[in-house]
Structure 1
Amino acid sequence: MDLSIVIPLYNEEESLPELIAWIDEELQKLNVSFEVVLVDDGSSDKSWETVLNLKSRFGYLRGIRFRRNYGKSAALNTGFQAAKGDVVITMDADLQDNPGEIPELYRLIRKEGFDLVSGWKKKRRDPLNKTLPSKLFNRTARMVSGIKLHDFNCGLKAYKSEVVKNIEVYGEMHRYIPILAKRAGFANITEKIVNHRERKYGVTKFGMERFLKGFLDLLSVMFISKFGNRPMHLFGALGTLMFLIGFALAIWLGAHKLYCVAHGIEAQLVTDNPFFYIGLVCMILGTQLFVTGFLAELVTRNQPDRNVYSIKEEF
């Protein structure tokens, strides 16, 4: 199959008929085989019934329904594993992403050979309480990852199939898929300016807590990118450094005490010197960090599959 469209959705019963009709109009322009994978992230409205009704009109639709709400990252990850197309395009279900961008995104992957094409909502139709934090996060992500994208969090993206099959999206990591792709060895990444539309139905599903989660996940993804498979290199190095600092202080205190005793100089007790406790704490912390690195190495060598989401229905 040539193309898969993966759409995570949560309480989008109003927008789905219009969205699928628009996608169908654009896909019919392409002389390719395609499918649309709808992943219902535990909606509490009639989204799944709407998906079933649409299936009778559009035979290429596939649906996956979670038993409860796991989050956008879980929905995307499950959709990625289910997708059969050589090119995979993701978009949101709220009609803010324009299906008219699909042909060009497909061409950039298929003809230009990019691993990943990320949409850039250069002119956003969102309030300032969303746009300003997003600019801060995007700037930070560019600095720490070295990937020159303006909009990491845009839901409209295109991928080679090998990219989505070799990354794991969990937590709130959907914001940093380009970083995960680069970590997996897919560095041919570019962006395309896309048309961003105002929300037509419903309200946003993301609250203010997404900013804290986004920051924490950025730290996580950068740590995993550099030390995910070799945590001992971080914890072991820090532990060794801390232990050596503490050991050096202990040697200095002992040598100073012996020098004073040998020359008849009155000196305070070693345990009365604050550097004794600083050195002791450094050695204890160094040992703990080293053991943490060792345990982390054991965990990474025995990781179970974390992609366990309870699927209620699928077709």
Structure 2
Amino acid sequence: MKLSIVLPAYNEEGSIEETLRTLYAKLQEEQIDHEIVVVNDNSKDNTLGLLTTIQETIPTLVVHTNQGPNGFGYAIRYGLERFQGDCVAIMMSDLSDDPADLVAFYRKMVAENLDCVFGSRFIRGGATYDYPKHKYLINRFANTLIRLLLGMSYNDSTNAFKLYKKTTIQGLKPFLSAHFNLTIELPLKAIIRGFSYGVLPNSWRNRKAGESNLKIKEMGSRYLFILLYVIIEKYLSRNDYLKREA
């Protein structure tokens, strides 16, 4: 099963090369058939130039530039319309996600024939490093609220790092999110629509270079919009969007 990895990149010249070389080395070591799809989200720095140079030594690297509209969600959606694998992982370009965790996700999906594999940083075996305290508190509040409102046990919906089969991605359309709220739209839709999933612990490290594009004050209403949409679909759609077996 071919693995695709979609990484959105906006002004990541300080991190993108180390991220890609570390990821590629791990996938080569594990002999996993793959492609690495980087979506340059109309960066203003030298991200695109670096990507062009890196392509010369990473043959599985595919580079797209999203001319617009721009934003984290739009960049991921751009990649999700263009990847060629049988399954696709969403990862960050700042080396916050561990390639070893990606391998574990992939092995679990193949072994158990799952539609999705989700990570949790907040179960036994999971870890966070240099997580800003205010973001941690907001994260735990938001995930607890999501769990209570949807009646589910999964506790890390807001982390973008997840793996989906290609057929699952098709079953989650149309996408509504233009920004970071896509991180909850995809897994919550998958769960309420009946796609199978497994959960593994994963780690997260704060970026070493550049700055986060997540602006919490701007995102609150957008996360709430998606959460309300998912609640309405779960309780009022009369199962119109449930997974259909081939």
TM-based fold match above 0.5: yes
- Assess if the C-alpha contact under 8 Å between 2:66 and 2:78 holds in 1: no
TM-score scaled by length of structure 2: 0.85
How far does residue 112 in structure 1 lie from its aligned partner after superposition? 1.7
Alignment of 1:150 onto 2:158? no
Aligned residue for 1:206, secondary structure, equals coil
Q: Could you tell me the percent identity over the aligned residues? A: 26
Task: Report 1:97-108 matches (<5 A).
Answer: 97-108=97-108
How far does residue 23 in structure 1 lie from its aligned partner after superposition? 0.5
User: Can you list the C-alpha shifts for 1:50-88, whole angstroms capped at 9, x where unaligned?
Assistant: 111111111211111111452222222221221221121
Q: Relative contact order (C-alpha < 8 Å, sep 6+): which is higher?
A: 2
**Max Rg structure:** 1
Aligned to 1:304: none
Aligned to 1:181: 190
Aligned to 1:73: 73
**Bigger strand share:** 2
Task: Report 1:117-156 matches (<5 A).
Answer: 117-122=117-122, 123-124=127-128, 125-156=130-161
How far does residue 22 in structure 1 lie from its aligned partner after superposition? 0.2
User: Can you list the C-alpha shifts for 1:214-240, whole angstroms capped at 9, x where unaligned?
Assistant: 123211232244446899xxxxxxxxx
TM-score scaled by length of structure 1: 0.68
Aligned to 1:40: 40
- Assess if the C-alpha contact under 8 Å between 2:37 and 2:79 holds in 1: yes
- Assess if the C-alpha contact under 8 Å between 2:23 and 2:99 holds in 1: yes
The one-letter code sitting in structure 1 at the alignment partner of 2:43 is: S
Moved over 6 A (4+): none
Task: Report 1:8-87 matches (<5 A).
Answer: 8-68=8-68, 70-87=70-87
Aligned to 1:93: 93
How far does residue 173 in structure 1 lie from its aligned partner after superposition? 2.8
How far does residue 179 in structure 1 lie from its aligned partner after superposition? 1.2
**Bigger helix share:** 1
Q: Supply the RMSD in Å over aligned alpha carbons.
A: 2.1
For residues 39 and 110 of structure 1, what CA distance do their matches in structure 2 show? 26
- Assess if the C-alpha contact under 8 Å between 1:87 and 1:110 holds in 2: no
Aligned to 1:192: 200
1:221 to 224, 230, 234: 230
The one-letter code sitting in structure 1 at the alignment partner of 2:105 is: L
Aligned to 1:250: none
Aligned residue for 2:152, secondary structure, equals coil
- In structure 1, the gaps of 5 or more residues are 232-315
How far does residue 146 in structure 1 lie from its aligned partner after superposition? 2.9
Aligned residue for 1:56, secondary structure, equals coil
- Assess if the C-alpha contact under 8 Å between 1:5 and 1:36 holds in 2: yes
Q: How many residues align?
A: 230
For residues 80 and 30 of structure 1, what CA distance do their matches in structure 2 show? 24
- Assess if the C-alpha contact under 8 Å between 1:109 and 1:117 holds in 2: yes
- Assess if the C-alpha contact under 8 Å between 1:6 and 1:38 holds in 2: yes
Aligned to 2:213: 205
Closer, same or farther in 2 for the Cα pair 1:227/1:76, shift >3 Å?
A: farther
